[in-house]
Structure 1
Amino acid sequence: MTESKELIQSILKANDTKDFYPIFTPSNPWPTEASEQETCRLLVLDSSFNPPTKAHAQLLQTSLASYPSNFFNGSLLLFSTNNVDKSLTGASALQRAQMMEIMARNFADTAVGFTPHGRFMDKAKYIHSWFAERYNGQLELYFIVGFDTMTRLLDPKYYNGMAVQEALAPFFESCHLICADRGPEDVDFWTNTYSVFDRELITRIQLDPITSQFSSTLAREAIHQDKKDLIRKILDPRIVDFVMRNKIY
């Protein structure tokens, strides 16, 4: 990881004022090219990755499996350095980028990108801007979100008095959401949500009950308490090795 670390450090330094930039791409060009008549579809897993867990991996895997083969031209692990609700603690931006690359290499056509923006509309705007010359508006983003993130996204407090449907209308012109919900107890939420937003815009998926509990917070707690068996259940072995070698938490 030494060469990768130095390369990532140089990328971070060179791009620290940009609104979006890739840290790692599995191929050049990435994502795979769509034909002139086709829309490029990019699957985006946006998270803090502090550290990446098996739940993150299953979110990506389950989302990919929920669509036809080759539906997506690529996947992106996205980290927001200025999250709306969180400050940067734990792993550094460099360490997160390194761990995200480890995870990305487990999936075909999966890249790692950074943005300073915390709002989904801003993230979408600047990812589109990055690819504007290649796709000229023919790019659709599919953001994977957890249920808590979904409820925050639909929370009116973030929209300065504007109706949520009106505020999100520009976002849904070229973006979709894939939400990992929690099952039957969310019936009222989804009834209300689908009364406002088209079902084609928001897809629901579910993780298995055990993996869905594997949060980054639980991973950090297990590391602090030196619960080796639990750590191995929550994290990929290569992430465990990286965390332990670098004494991150």
Structure 2
Amino acid sequence: MTKTMAAPETTYFKKALTSFVKSAAKFDVVCSVRGSSTAASPLVHPSRPRSQIHTLVVLDSSFNPPTVAHMQMATSAIQELQRHHLSSSPYPISMRLLLLLSVNNADKASKTAAFEQRLALMLAMAKDVQAVFKDTLATPPASTLDVPIDIGLTSEPYFHSKSAAIAESSFYLRPDFASAPDSKPTPEQVFLVGYDTLIRIFHPKYYKAPEPPASIPHGLPEHATPMQIALTPLMRRARLRVTTRPDDQWGNEEVQHSWLQTIDERGGATENWSSRIDLMSGTYKGASIVSSTTARTAAKEEEWEKLAEQVGPSVAAWIKLQQLYVDA
């Protein structure tokens, strides 16, 4: 099968990438997908919220490719947040899901799938996520879900700077009209991360003393560490929903929960970082091993049934159509 690099998706996203890089912006939304939309075209331009968004769920990944584990992280988070909110309010919470791709990854060099192909895979994943919600419309709280999904780019490599770029962007700012609620100018961010990513977020090696010295967040002592200065605004602005990763490298779930108890020592006496972190079970109900690496191997060897265990149907169809990873 011949690669279809001139597909509308890749053409659209390649132009979006070029425009983003030239703009020198730190964050931008390049595509929006609504569950209520029946349009099959990928050329869905960014759709700014028409009303205030309470919660922005952010899945930041290399999406190389997005797997069913990524999907489960997103769908379970949205459904649980909605369920928790409905337990105290008769009205559904206003949410959006942001699939975020960094063009400057702090740990992983760009390889295999080009960025425009990854964006196309993110669009395919968005369709798979919306399909999950559509299939469960009869079951509350899913029946209340019509969650727009945004596909975004960032030039920032670290979570604290990504979070700041999103918060400073006009895209999610409170709508500027008199009747708009003014309790919060920007939505609360909920970052979906794996346990291995949690360890990296709180590793001191990523935080050097800034030059010139950065201003110390209000409430921190003058001797605050570079990590405290960088992460305090993130932890005051956002929550981290962490999927545990029991294995030989990271230990079992008990070990991972125990590590979380030490996190407040890193934040300092005035902060309570552990209260902003939720640990969720990392067991995926399906294939025994789910990973982007396993998915790429299945695609390379054209083992399509195995690939279907690793990724959603729209993602699998795009990989097969484009023959991604075959030459990897």
Task: Identify whether the pair has TM-score above 0.5, normalized to the shorter chain.
Answer: yes
Deviates more, 1:20-29 or 1:128-137: 128-137
Alignment gaps of 5+ in structure 1: none
Contact 1:33–1:73 (CA under 8 A) maintained in structure 2:
no
Contact 1:62–1:207 (CA under 8 A) maintained in structure 2:
no
Aligned partner (choices 180, 185, 204) of residue 156 of structure 1: 204
Aligned partner (choices 50, 54, 58) of residue 44 of structure 1: 58
Contact 1:219–1:235 (CA under 8 A) maintained in structure 2:
yes
1:189 is matched with which residue? Answer: 259
CA distance in 1 between partners of 2:306 and 2:234 (Å): 39
Deviates more, 1:206-215 or 1:228-237: 206-215
Distance apart, 1:152 and its partner CA = 0.4
**2:191 is the alignment partner of 1:114:** no
Deviates more, 1:164-173 or 1:177-186: 164-173
**2:212 is the alignment partner of 1:173:** no
Aligned partner (choices 33, 41, 66) of residue 51 of structure 2: 33
1:136-147 superposed matches below 5 A: 137-147=185-195
CA distance in 2 between partners of 1:132 and 1:26 (Å): 15
SS of the counterpart of 1:90? coil
CA distance in 1 between partners of 2:315 and 2:103 (Å): 20
SS of the counterpart of 1:200? helix
Higher helix share: 1
Q: TM-score, normalised by structure 1?
A: 0.88
* Amino acid across the alignment from 1:175: A
CA distance in 1 between partners of 2:186 and 2:116 (Å): 32
CA distance in 1 between partners of 2:302 and 2:48 (Å): 39
**2:119 is the alignment partner of 1:97:** yes
Distance verdict in 2 for CA 1:187–1:153, change over 3 Å? same
Deviations 1:210-230 (A, max 9, x none): 558411111112222333332
Aligned partner (choices 78, 101, 117) of residue 79 of structure 1: 101
1:242 is matched with which residue? Answer: 318
Contact 2:66–2:125 (CA under 8 A) maintained in structure 1:
yes
Q: TM-score, normalised by structure 2?
A: 0.68
Distance verdict in 2 for CA 1:123–1:243, change over 3 Å? same
* Amino acid across the alignment from 1:164: M
CA distance in 2 between partners of 1:186 and 1:14 (Å): 41
Distance apart, 1:133 and its partner CA = 7.9
CA distance in 1 between partners of 2:263 and 2:152 (Å): 30
**2:26 is the alignment partner of 1:19:** yes
Number of paired residues? Answer: 245
SS of the counterpart of 1:52? coil
Deviates more, 1:42-51 or 1:16-25: 16-25
Distance apart, 1:118 and its partner CA = 0.9
SS of the counterpart of 1:128? helix
Distance apart, 1:208 and its partner CA = 2.8
Distance apart, 1:132 and its partner CA = 6.9
CA distance in 2 between partners of 1:154 and 1:200 (Å): 15
Between the aligned residues of both structures, percent identity stands at 26
1:228 is matched with which residue? Answer: 304
Aligned partner (choices 57, 75, 79) of residue 61 of structure 1: 75
Deviates more, 1:187-196 or 1:76-85: 187-196
CA distance in 1 between partners of 2:172 and 2:116 (Å): 29
CA distance in 2 between partners of 1:50 and 1:201 (Å): 28
Contact 1:30–1:74 (CA under 8 A) maintained in structure 2:
no
SS of the counterpart of 2:17? helix
CA distance in 2 between partners of 1:213 and 1:159 (Å): 33
Contact 1:30–1:109 (CA under 8 A) maintained in structure 2:
no
1:217 is matched with which residue? Answer: 293
CA RMSD in angstroms, aligned pairs only? 2.4
